[in-house]
Structure 1
Amino acid sequence: MAESTGSKKRWLPLEANPDVMNQFLWGLGVPANEAECCDVYGLDEELLEMVPKPVLAVLFLYPLTSQSEEERIKQDSETKVQDPSSTVYYMKQTVGNACGTIGLLHAIGNITSQIKLTEGSFLDKFFKSTSSLDPMQVLIFAIEVSGQSHHSSHPMLIHSGTNLQRALFLENDREMEVAHSVAATAGDTEATDDVNTHFICFTCVDGQLYELDGRRAGPITHGASSPNSLLKDAARVIKKIIEKNPDSINFNVIAISQNV
């Protein structure tokens, strides 16, 4: 999966497998009767209708190519990212191959008002700790904690203090590293850190569809959305990404649905 920004630590990647992701989330504090991951078998309307509703977030796995990387860099230079003080929960990816975990954290971090996490669980403590970070705080603390010089080349170094502090909080959390490792080796395919795919998350916050990718400069908005239209709105954006790489079959879409 995609390289991280700013750290040499690498994890084994999570498999794009709802069963694996469910065990991961349920084990860390999402009750099984609150939410679960489900396969999205296609992006046509009749296939989207098969996905359990309501959908709280959408995860998308896509192949990394030279074209996709060039486009990402171009978009980051042209796109106005969301202000880090917004209500969108966002964090940077600083650990290699952690994009699956980052995607799940982006998903759960933006729906904590819609589901009830187990009190005292890892995720309950993680979001309570990281959501309280001051969005206006400078990065001096984060840089010192990570042992980097003041000449490090983090993207958005001045503007994304909270995002990077959340990432460093995760990077140094042993419990999460162990949980990720267990989940990464529980899939149907042999775990290897040599992969060329990447997870991103789509979520609806305050009536807007957001793309959350820990390698980007920040959250990216894709226009108006709603809890009822989130899946279809995300599918519209995902289709455009797939159209740019029609020869690849390494795409996977997973919805996180609320159990009602």
Structure 2
Amino acid sequence: MSGGWNTVESDAGVFTYLLEGLGAKGVQFEELFALDEDDLYRLSPVYGVIFLFKYLSGDDKAGKNSKQPEDGEYDFEAVENMFFAAQTIQNACGTQALLSVLLNQSDKLALGPHLTEFKDFTSGLPSDIRGECLSNSELIRTTHNSFARASPFVDETQRTATGDDDVYHFIAYTPVNGTLYELDGLAPAPISHGPCTLETFPSAVLPVLQRRIARYPTTEIRFNLIAMVQDPRINARAIGDMDTLQAEARKRDAWRWENALRRHNFVGFVGELAKEVTRAKLTAGESEYESWIEGAKARTKSQRETNRKRGIEE
């Protein structure tokens, strides 16, 4: 793998295991399918959310060349008392947004030795140098890239955005020192959105997200929102909630399977499979080939039904 940063998907399973790969414990991500305050409160404690969106055509990237952002206010003084890093490399914004929540909630979460050392080392540095430290961290880059979808056609280190490309970006929202902050590595400073605590975070962040989405045409639906929450298994173990523990075990098994698939390039396999199918069709003849296909479909359907039943019983 090259020394660059590859793109990762905005996916709860990817981000949860990315965190664990970096050594953090006791947290996971949950996808949010609606901007519903009650749903967010049900996930409490919610340490922050990560928002993926498409840049508007002609948008000034996070207001970098503006005196103030479109919503909220830049808080340049806050940088000294929180973790805020400038994004200095392409494709790193997903992991950077994740760390923007995690490292600002370090008093409530178990970071693990590597991230604790990284936070302590960068705590007195300006945001641009923090960004360089993040981009040059071998552990963070390697862990990030281990969740990138394999592609035999695109070298992400050479990818450049043109005016015709859809460009997407991750940012984070989290409460720090009694204030709701928007943390965007392309912005010159954290963006303050007013008073907020961990307890009031769901009701404080949703109006900010709604205003941001309202800037887009009503036909635009390409947004994704995931929340960093406490690992549900912690409370489930404490109260002996076996149903939740079993549900979470199934969820994590599915995440592990999906993450394993992301690491593999199946183009060669598909190519060889197509060759064999064509060879079998030419050898067996059209009628026998069709019979073979129908039999394979029936066996696949039967196997899926068996697996589904086993999953319910387990």
TM-score range, shorter chain: 0.7 to 0.9
Q: Is the 8 A contact 1:76 1:216 kept in 2?
A: no
1:38-79: CA deviations, max 9, x gaps?
Answer: 1111103344344x2100111111111225437724654564
Q: Is the 8 A contact 2:15 2:29 kept in 1?
A: yes
Secondary structure at 2:227 match in 1: strand
CA distance in 1, matches of 2:67, 2:188: 6
Q: Is the 8 A contact 1:184 1:191 kept in 2?
A: no
1:191-236: CA deviations, max 9, x gaps?
Answer: 9656511111001011110000000011010001111121221111
Which amino acid in 1 is paired with 2:81?
T
Partner of 1:210: 181
CA distance in 2, matches of 1:255, 1:84: 23
CA distance in 1, matches of 2:208, 2:58: 17
CA distance in 2, matches of 1:191, 1:45: 40
Partner of 1:108: 102
Secondary structure at 1:66 match in 2: coil
Q: Does 1:196 align with 2:160?
A: no
Question: 1:1-260 counterparts in 2 under 5 A?
Answer: 11-31=5-25, 34-50=26-42, 52-69=43-60, 72-73=63-64, 75-77=66-68, 79-83=73-77, 85-118=79-112, 120=113, 122-131=114-123, 133-134=124-125, 162-185=126-149, 196-245=167-216, 246-259=218-231, 260=235
Secondary structure at 1:19 match in 2: helix
Instruction: Flag the 1:58–1:191 CA change in 2: closer, same or farther, 3 A.
Output: farther
Which amino acid in 2 is paired with 1:44?
D
Instruction: Flag the 1:86–1:172 CA change in 2: closer, same or farther, 3 A.
Output: closer
Aligned length: 217
Which amino acid in 2 is paired with 1:45?
E
Q: Is the 8 A contact 1:42 1:48 kept in 2?
A: no
Q: Return the structure number with greater relative CO, CA threshold 8 A, min gap 6.
A: 1
Q: Is the 8 A contact 1:41 1:253 kept in 2?
A: yes
Q: Is the 8 A contact 2:61 2:186 kept in 1?
A: no
Bigger CA radius of gyration: 2
CA distance in 1, matches of 2:46, 2:87: 24
Secondary structure at 1:254 match in 2: strand
Point out where structure 1 has 5 or more consecutive residues left out of the alignment: 1-8, 135-161
